[in-house]
Structure 1
């Protein structure tokens, strides 16, 4: 879900930083589910990602789709972008399940359920018979599935819709979210078959908002400023804090409907000082891998920290170090070479065919 576009990496270090921090927030949220809660609202990062994705896709592909780029070619490019890192997460999820089966864990899926999850997941498809999770081997993959679906919609005509039409899609989605999200999960929905319609509403609100932000701000002048650290700090604060139960629903809707788009808008207009941009560009570069592989890694790192008698923040530090190192390795040693190889093969096919 969080990914680095070449155009974005070169031009928007502040957005890269926010994307990287949001990916780590999701990873810490899921770590907290298995241990002690750390980033209680980390799941809201998904809505931030969808806004950012709408901006990135519109920035990178709107003119090309209006020109010679076909919807089919666009989707091939998107699958190539997603699949290698997605596959790593899927395989890690399978290995985790096998390890849990061998250990006799009663909560792990086996037999037909594991086979279905493996086969369907290999093709980036949700498991139709599983009511708990659409992607049992790597739960966060549901967002990547919805990202691909909204990319299909973008290529088939969403990129040509007027801002008014996009606002109409957003309005319908907002009504659905207001009407059907609430306790106990609030906006932490979309990962199961029962809540998939709400996940669709999440992406159908935030992604079009990102497109509108591109149209409004994508060509506006930008300036390097220390003020660019404010949206980064606000994003981290929002994901690390949650209000009381009575206010939680309204607060989360406010974040989705207004605050996250405002943070993306700030990242579009304000750039990090060049001398300080590199660490945030690094976070952006590994963010997709962090998001895709963190789930399956949790159980392995948890076992490691138990053996080392580490807990609390020491265990969190080990988790983050291993996760970021693994994400960097996956991104640079697997994803980049595989996509380069696929690109070379496709170019050679065109030469032979042409």
Structure 2
């Protein structure tokens, strides 16, 4: 009899999606070195029909959608980190917390040291106007305090390594995982209401400039996908049984992508439509979720994300995300006076090479260290608190045994007394 096997929990296509998102963030920051590149919807003043306009206000924006790619990262983290929690009974929380903190903080601390080296290597005195990304991200008066502040994800300052702002929310989510997982499980049957709530909270966060509300709901959306993963796979099976499955999947993937960059599609007039932009940004986690579902269920997209180039990008994605900005800024000063794209010809390949080395030297070792720390914490907890639990369980039995022995002694003494009386009576 053929045994039906459970699908692997390892979703390799999502590694490729993460790799693509990291490359898009790299392209986003590379374009930022051009002061004419619009940083937010409606910002700047680019001529309609110019190359910069096409890159910013048409579907081509997908190639440089940096903020939107970070939302994809958050949804993926919510899914991947929550999945073992909602799938395994007796999840080892004692091992999880130190393991997760080491897994995040060791690469962060290493990346800060790399960033400091690139900052020190060349003076960072921007010739661009104040307020441009390059000027704001440069560190002209570096001191060792910047390293300490960058290591402090929860309350510090990532001036020397811009992407660290998003790692703050990764760490907050990781610490709040029990709450997020319970909330996702609670809305298992009412998942549409849960997603609607995430949209409302994201909108409120964007509208009020609240970082927690702007970004944490994206992790929750990923956690809902983890809880509903079997339903997602069942939906994919039903879709794939349809005759027009490819057009339908294409519409889901395209719809999710367009939803994520919707504020940009408003054109340069988006600056005058602040309320509408906030609403559309609130829908970004849903757009990311649609892309994730398409990556899981649509075979052509699935195969694309499992291709060697994107799997390679996925393998170095975390390291590339952490190290690329200091290299871009360093290259901008190294080739100062050249056309803005010339430094990128040097910076992009160097960033990829450094990411490869960083992955091998730091990130992979952080995996082993995090597992060791988690196993040690779990063993210590069992050694200390497990003994107390065993002693507590054994104490009533011991008490019963002692009571029984005492009672038994009293019975034996009574029996001997009765026997003695009977012997005395017989003698009489």
Contact kept in structure 2, 1:140 and 1:295, CA below 8 Å: yes
CA deviation digits over 1:206-242, x for unaligned, max 9? Answer: 1111111122234625679988898888888866993
Cα distance in 1, alignment partners of residues 76 and 269 from structure 2: 29
Moved more, 142-151 or 272-281: 272-281
TM-score, structure 2 normalization = 0.61
SS state at 2:176 partner:
helix
Match of residue 126 from structure 1: 155
Contact kept in structure 2, 1:210 and 1:261, CA below 8 Å: yes
1:1-354 map, 5 Å: 10-13=10-13, 15-35=14-34, 37=37, 41-64=65-88, 66-70=89-93, 72-99=94-121, 108=139, 110=141, 114-127=143-156, 134-155=157-178, 157-161=179-183, 162-163=186-187, 174-175=199-200, 177-179=202-204, 181=206, 195=209, 197=210, 199-218=211-230, 220=233, 242-243=264-265, 244-247=267-270, 249=277, 252-253=280-281, 255-271=283-299, 272-273=302-303, 277-305=307-335, 311-312=340-341, 315-341=343-369, 343-344=371-372
Cα distance in 2, alignment partners of residues 92 and 230 from structure 1: 42
Report the RMSD for the aligned CA atoms in angstroms: 4.0
Cα distance in 2, alignment partners of residues 43 and 349 from structure 1: 36
Deviation for aligned residue 1:331: 0.7
Cα distance in 1, alignment partners of residues 254 and 96 from structure 2: 35
Cα distance in 1, alignment partners of residues 102 and 333 from structure 2: 33
Runs (5+) with no aligned partner, structure 2 = 1-7, 38-54, 56-62, 127-134, 384-428
Cα distance in 2, alignment partners of residues 268 and 56 from structure 1: 13
Match of residue 190 from structure 1: none
Cα distance in 2, alignment partners of residues 350 and 251 from structure 1: 44
Deviation for aligned residue 1:67: 0.8
Contact kept in structure 2, 1:167 and 1:208, CA below 8 Å: no
Deviation for aligned residue 1:343: 3.9
Contact kept in structure 1, 2:106 and 2:366, CA below 8 Å: yes
Match of residue 412 from structure 2: none
Contact kept in structure 1, 2:71 and 2:218, CA below 8 Å: yes
Deviation for aligned residue 1:289: 0.8
Q: In terms of Rg, which structure is larger?
A: 2
Cα distance in 2, alignment partners of residues 201 and 92 from structure 1: 31
Contact kept in structure 2, 1:29 and 1:42, CA below 8 Å: yes
Contact kept in structure 2, 1:173 and 1:202, CA below 8 Å: no
TM-score, structure 1 normalization = 0.73
Cα distance in 2, alignment partners of residues 316 and 40 from structure 1: 14
